[in-house]
Amino acid sequence: DAMVIQNPRYQVTQFGKPVTLSCSQTLNHNVMYWYQQKSSQAPKLLFHYYDKDFNNEADTPDNFQSRRPNTSFCFLDIRSPGLGDTAMYLCATSTGQTDTEAFFGQGTRLTVV
């Protein structure tokens, strides 16, 4: 019954080796978000899509890219991961309407070694 699914749950990658995290949703929501959450910190918004319109946060490093090929799927690409990119990456969706919450996936724990 999972509505927002992230794969993989755990990922270990080498310093500088590109990595892709995926997110899929069965809710048919217009908006998809990617958050980065480092240990004991608040989730930090990296970017979000409203349909195909991409919105990048001003302080998101260029190393992070995203793709949304269709309504159901969204990908986070890290082109050259650094040790500081070790974090939990959370995908979320929402309808984009007022008074609605964001629905989160279980997250991907990324470790850069």
Q: Which two tokens stand for residue 48?
A: 């979000």
According to CB under 8 A, which one of 23, 76, 92, 112 is a site residue for other proteins? 92
Residue 111 near other proteins by CB under 8 A: no
DSSP secondary structure, 39-91, as one string:
TTS--EEEEEEETTEEEE-TTS-TTEEEE-SSSSEEEEEESS--GGG-EEEEE
- Least separation in angstroms between residue 109's CB and other proteins is 7
According to CB under 8 A, which one of 32, 48, 66, 74 is a site residue for other proteins? 48
Q: 7-36: which residues touch other proteins (CB under 8 A)?
A: 30-31, 33
